[in-house]
Amino acid sequence: MNKPTFLVISKIDTLRLEQLGDEERKIIDDVVGKDGVELLQLSCYTDEGVMESRNAACDRLLAVRVEAKMRGSKVNSVLNKLHLTEPSQRDDKARPAFIPEGVKNRVKYVATDPMRRKLERDLEAENGGAGSYSVDLNSMSHFHIFTIL
């Protein structure tokens, strides 16, 4: 099916792959030796390897999807519309990046600080959470929406 395949060994808190006998180990090695099969080990009881297995599966699936999209016919029509420009140097004047002082001096957001500025997610949590909180669009008049064509 051209999908990534994983052999996931669970319950490694009770028996590790290294503790298996030669016969069982040969069966696993035969399966993993096949084209594109990856071996993952985890224990839900101790949470060992759970996140690593999830991340490995997600990363591999994403890579397969990107590869499939790049092989498709639509990618050329999109790539033809993109143009990357790098400015050439016009003189010997140094033009370093400019970071405004307000950005440099901004206090870092710390969720546990009681004196921090309130974010929209804080207001949502205080007023009933998702599903019962409605954003007050009139209070958001200081936001500007730009459309890039």
- Does 147 have pLDDT greater than 70? no
Residue 97 pLDDT? 87
pLDDT of the residue at 112: 85
Give the number of other CB atoms < 10 A from CB of residue 48: 14
For the stretch 69-106, what's the b/e string if a residue is b when 16 or more beta carbons lie within 10 angstroms of its beta carbon?
eeeeeeeeeeeeeeeeeeeeeeeeeeeeeeeeeeeeee
Q: d(Cα 2, Cα 45) in Å, to the nearest integer?
A: 32
- CB neighbours (10 Å) of residue 40? 16
pLDDT at position 141 is 60
Cα 59–chain centre separation: 9
> Given this model, what pLDDT does residue 42 score?
94
pLDDT at residue number 148: 54
CA distance 147 to 149: 6
Say whether pLDDT at 59 is over 80. Answer: yes
* Angle (CA) 21 19 55, round 5°: 115
Task: Phi first, then psi: give them for residue 49, nearest 5 degrees.
Answer: 80, -5
Q: Tell me which H or E stretch contains 28.
A: helix 22-32
Mean per-residue pLDDT over the chain, rounded: 85
Domain ranges of the chain: 5-74
pLDDT of 12: 92
The amino acid present at 133, given as its one-letter code, is Y
User: How confident is residue 49, by pLDDT bands cut at 50, 70 and 90?
Assistant: very high
Note the pLDDT of residue 144.
56
Summarize pLDDT for 112-135 with one digit per residue, the tens.
888 888 888 888 888 888 888 888
pLDDT over 70 for what percent of the chain?
93
- pLDDT at site 44: 92
